Amino acid sequence: MMRKTGAFLTVVATMGFCYLYLYKRFEPEHVHHPRGNSEQNLCAANDRCDHGFCIVRFDRPICICDEGWSGPTCSWELNECNSNPCHHGKCFDGVNSYTCECQEGWIGTNCEKDINQKEDPPVKLAPVAESEESDEDEDVEHVQAKRMSVLNDYCKRYPEKSNEYPSKHTLGQLIVNDKYNILYCFVPKTGCTTTKLVFYNLEMGTNHTLNTVEVHKYNFTFLDQYSSEEIEHRLRNYYKFIVVRDPLERLLSAWRDKFVHGRDLLTEKFQDMWSTIENKTDEYDAIRDVPFKAFLKAVSMDKKKWHNAHWEPAYKLCSPCQVKFDFVAHTDTLAEDFPLFFQKVGITGKDSFLPQKKQTRGGKFLAEDYKVIPLDDMRVIWSMFKPDFDMFGYSFEDDINGLLRTKPMDTK
């Protein structure tokens, strides 16, 4: 009996030791360090950034590596030769650089020029009129072609999606302009107020500004209001237009608009988002601003009671592979995108109400709000919005790296 008791106690002690070790080793990212563990102290305790510097993000010290270095402690030298940059030669790696030893008959930084290739003599051409398109216009055209290529390549990888018919939910998001044969998919928090104003003026033949008309109260015609034959005709023949935005920027914009600056009915409707970060079960007595951490946690949980178009993924709203859009605009380039869009659909003489270039809030503002979000929650958000990232050419990894590299705002 004594031996069994001793063995049992030994097992319990061993399990307890393992639990404590594993808890400290894999401490959850949302657990805050005790007050007094400042950023300097945390970085001092983790002073192992060999070729970089230390910052604290998501409650833990992280190394930001210098160019040419990587790894948890910035101790891994990147090998620039891994991408095989030397077309006809041997590559020699350096620190954030490389050199090429070219084969006989080849020269150039990447051994890409054949010294034996004879160039054709220049051909004299008759003078031609200078193109009206500027270099900037050509760049916009190139960017648009790239966006469409990214979207089409994504849809080709998932042919089953392209073969589906758009849902009624999506048909109810498509604003119809029969005058110019256009379908515009309305995605909230992507500059939709500006875009709706453009479509309002096209529809009414006016030149209103946001100071003279409330476009969100205008009764636009949506595709789900037509018969099946009329819907099919418009999907097949109309020019289809969508405006999208980086998912992390869009989520932050939705929270600021609905729970900070606006405090409209959604602030009251979604008060129970507080339950994601506190254990209160009673009815909320007073309406409080929902913190960003609670909002993002609620969105990541994907519960039906917290669904709303202002933060629903664009791919769910607009079904890009089924609708087969012809033009993808970005919120931060609307002023450049709209002139090209007008050119594509043959709209002339309407430049007076095109959107003007507008500065957007930068990385520091993004970082200040997102730095309180545990990395695990960020990964869930990435998983939910992954099709938006992939379809529209955004990068979650670039966003995270940008957040990590952004220094905290000066609070003085």
**What's the pLDDT score for residue 95?**
61
**pTM higher than 0.95:** no
CA-to-CA separations, 289 to 125, 252, 257, 274, 355, in angstroms, rounded: 68, 14, 11, 9, 32
Q: Tens of pLDDT along 274-316?
A: 888 877 655 555 677 889 999 999 999 999 999 999 999 999 9
Classify domain 80-112 by CATH number: 2.10.25.10
Chain position carrying tokens 């084969």:
103
Distance CA 151, CA 327 (A): 10
Spell out the domain ranges in the chain.
80-112, 135-247+318-353, 255-278+286-310+365-405
pLDDT bin (cut points 50, 70, 90) of residue 31 is very low
Q: Tens of pLDDT along 120-145?
A: 443 333 343 444 444 455 699 999 99
**What's the pLDDT score for residue 35?**
36
Q: Which two three-digit tokens encode residue 335?
A: 């002023």
Q: Chain centroid to CA 157: how far? A: 20
Q: Tens of pLDDT along 236-281?
A: 999 999 999 999 999 999 999 888 876 567 778 888 898 888 776 5
Distance CA 215, CA 175 (A): 13
* % of the chain surpassing 70 pLDDT: 73
Print burial letters for 288-321: b (CB count within 10 Å at least 16), e (below 16): eebbbbbbbbbbbeeeeebeeebbbbbbbbbbbb
Q: Which two three-digit tokens encode residue 188?
A: 């909230």
